[in-house]
Amino acid sequence: MKKITTLVLLTIAFLTHVTAQEQLNKMQLADNLFDRYEYFKSVAIYLDLASKNNAKFHAVERVADCYRLMNDYEKAEEWYSKTVAFAETNAIDHYYYAELLLRNKKFDEAREQYKTYYALENSDQLPFKLAACDSAQKWIKSPVDLFTIKNEQKYNTKFSEWGLNYAGKTAFVFTSDRFEDDKKNKKKVSNRTGDGFFKVYHNEGDIITPLELKTKNSPIFDAGYHVGPMVFTNSGDTAYLTITTTLPKSKLAIDNDASGIQQLYTRRLELVIAFKVNGQWSNFKNFKYNNLKEYSVGHATLSNNGNVIYFTSDMPGGEGKTDIWYCVKQADGEWGEPVNCGKIINTKDDEAFPNLNDDGTLYYSSTGLPGMGGLDIFKSRGEKSTWAKPVNLKYPVNSTSDDFYFITHDSLSGYFSSNREGGKGNDDIYSFSYTPPPPILSAAFSNKMLKPALSATPPPALPASTILTLKKGEGFILNNIYYDLNKSDIRADAAIELNKLAEILREHPSIRIEVGSHTDARAPSAYNLTLSNKRAAAAVNFLVRHGVARNRLVAKGYGDTQLLNQCSKGEYCSEADHQVNRRTEIHILSR
């Protein structure tokens, strides 16, 4: 339901021949244009036919279809309301009408249209769609007020701007279909929308200019169609650019349209690897797994070390329409075979626009996971084909419209794109900031274990010497014994405090302790339990190596069962908040 469908996957068709002898009437002409995806041209003819007395259903339905496909949601809703009033209306018209009503926050009307559609179709998806209406209504009433959202006016126009990405420390690139004025005052128009073709723009400060790509005489592409988005390696001299292929017709798949009159060829997405030479993006190379006759590849993101690339594709072997895939860099620098990210991330519908933050959290958009309708932004922890259950970022990051291309370094601030109501144009670029809630820690110790309790002022973590003041059954959080994400190594700061603990235990040989390790709530609980056992064992092994008898030490992993703050599964938290839960506790077993 938006302009990105042109780029998400993926076909743009063009006329190659029409039977020259046939004299077309207005309806046939409009239908031929529609079949070529030239909605901007065809809607004017359909409107003329649909506005007459005794207008035919076909013309009215096609006006609605054109406005939907051109992303004019208010007009599309108006014309679908007329479409479903006809006795000969199609079941799918009720579905499209419901989607538009949901998008426009008319929840009760949307529910009724969904019910009508699914009563006519053999499908089990009605509960999913009704749940989207319920979630949207509920989340809008109770927004996640830790998020602050702002429309970034300096990037946005009445056209479509999206896909903002970092291009160094202070610069950005983004994608837009705004018109570019040239010396001859000519405008290249997409017949699908009546707007321009997507190009990549660059800004540093308040100056925005088209990003210069030296594509003239390039054997890879000539930047004549849609270009963008663009993502850079950490070195800044290599980029991965999504383009609509510009190969000649002879190398593209050809099909007949529904009437059999026209031959159409399909332009799919491909990834181009761009290299900066002498300050210019002028050297281009095809991504190894582009296959323009069978599927599309686009929307890349790279792991922090550059060794894994994730991207969107509808290649065979996926879970649904478009999936997120990955390749691993080989020893020779080439990318290995694509692997699907799996059923946790991908669904039978669309997943797209993957982006990784600095600690490896994946942000992406989906229409197949529970949300508010349209594309919703989700996050997940993991890598490659092993992921935790995705978490919906909810309102106000998500809306009843399409929300996508979420980028951030630290999960505390960043940008995303949306075609929600109230923007400047079709797709707009928004910034976000996230204020973590204060941690909620225990205010006192119990006889059995340290348990979380509401406290306005959390107590400080305690030094190793605290062990001399405690009785059997009492415990404390050992100061500075924290762990890096997904690791059990003893960090340098932890080694300092464990050394102090070892010294005290050597001086008091009658004390026996339990070394309890805890994880944050990210990743599956079974994985967290295993990780916490490894962390507890690592701490015990450290103490043994520093002269403490092993029979005086018990290693115990608790996984994510005893969190000290609000960062449970599904909650949005900063890395600092999650680290509070990755701790080591000491409990006295005997003295």
For residues 407 and 278, give the distance between their C-alpha atoms in angstroms, rounded to a whole number.
28
pLDDT, residue 251, reads: 65
pLDDT, residue 192, reads: 79
Contact indicator for 555, 533 with CB cutoff of 8 Å: yes
Q: Provide the 8-state DSSP code for 350.
A: B
Mean pLDDT of 471-493: 70
Task: Kindly tell me if the per-residue pLDDT of 441 is higher than 50.
Answer: no
Q: Which of 64-68, 312-316, 511-515 has the lowest mean pLDDT?
A: 511-515
Task: Kindly tell me if the per-residue pLDDT of 5 is higher than 70.
Answer: no
Tell whether domain 5-141 is in CATH 1.25.40.10: yes
Local structure of 548: helix, strand or coil: coil
Q: Which of 146-160, 237-251, 346-360, 418-432 has the lowest mean pLDDT?
A: 237-251
CB atoms within 10 A of CB 545: 10
Contact indicator for 328, 307 with CB cutoff of 8 Å: yes
Residue that wins the pLDDT comparison between 144 and 87: 87
Chain centroid offset of residue 258 CA? 35
Task: Kindly tell me if the per-residue pLDDT of 454 is higher than 60.
Answer: no
Q: How many residues does the chain have?
A: 591
Mean pLDDT of 292-304: 93
CB atoms within 10 A of CB 546: 15
Task: Kindly tell me if the per-residue pLDDT of 197 is higher than 80.
Answer: yes
Whether the CA torsion 538, 543, 544, 545 is positive or negative: it is positive
Q: Which of 106-120, 260-274, 277-291, 314-328 has the lowest mean pLDDT?
A: 260-274
Q: Band of the pLDDT at 158, cuts 50, 70, 90?
A: very high
Q: Band of the pLDDT at 308, cuts 50, 70, 90?
A: very high
pLDDT tens-digit profile of 338-362?
999 999 999 999 999 999 999 899 9
pLDDT, residue 500, reads: 86
Architecture of domain 147-434: 5 Propeller (2.115)
pLDDT, residue 4, reads: 40
Tell whether domain 464-590 is in CATH 3.30.1330.60: yes
Describe the strand order of the beta sheet including 13-15 as a list of residue ranges. 13-15, 263-266, 254-256
Residue that wins the pLDDT comparison between 330 and 587: 330
In single-letter form, the type of residue at position 586 comes to I
Task: Kindly tell me if the per-residue pLDDT of 14 is higher than 50.
Answer: no
Task: Kindly tell me if the per-residue pLDDT of 243 is higher than 90.
Answer: yes
pLDDT tens-digit profile of 262-280?
556 567 899 999 999 998 9
Q: Which of 189-203, 252-266, 320-334 has the lowest mean pLDDT?
A: 252-266
Q: What's the whole-number average pLDDT of the chain?
A: 85
**Domains of the chain: which residue ranges?**
5-141, 147-434, 464-590
Contact indicator for 396, 144 with CB cutoff of 8 Å: yes
- Helix (H), strand (E), coil (C) string for 182-224: CCCCCCCCCCCCCCCCCEEEEEECCEEEECCECCCCCCCCCCC
Q: Provide the 8-state DSSP code for 572.
A: -
Nearby residues of 150 by Cβ (< 8 Å), 6 or more positions away: 430, 431, 432
Residue that wins the pLDDT comparison between 217 and 317: 317
- Burial of 5: CB neighbours in 10 Å, binned 0-12, 13-18, 19+: middle
Strands 475-482 and 403-408: unpaired
CB atoms within 10 A of CB 64: 26
In single-letter form, the type of residue at position 408 comes to T
Q: Provide the 8-state DSSP code for 459.
A: P
Q: Band of the pLDDT at 482, cuts 50, 70, 90?
A: low
Residue that wins the pLDDT comparison between 583 and 254: 583
Nearest to 172 by CA among 426, 364, 433, 414: 414
Q: Band of the pLDDT at 480, cuts 50, 70, 90?
A: low
Residue that wins the pLDDT comparison between 185 and 282: 282
pLDDT tens-digit profile of 39-60?
999 999 999 999 888 889 999 9
Contact indicator for 321, 350 with CB cutoff of 8 Å: yes
For residues 535 and 498, give the distance between their C-alpha atoms in angstroms, rounded to a whole number.
13
pLDDT tens-digit profile of 547-572?
999 999 999 999 999 888 878 876 77
CB atoms within 10 A of CB 477: 24
pLDDT, residue 186, reads: 54
**pTM for this prediction:** 0.74
pLDDT tens-digit profile of 363-416?
999 999 999 999 999 999 889 999 988 999 999 999 999 999 999 998 889 999
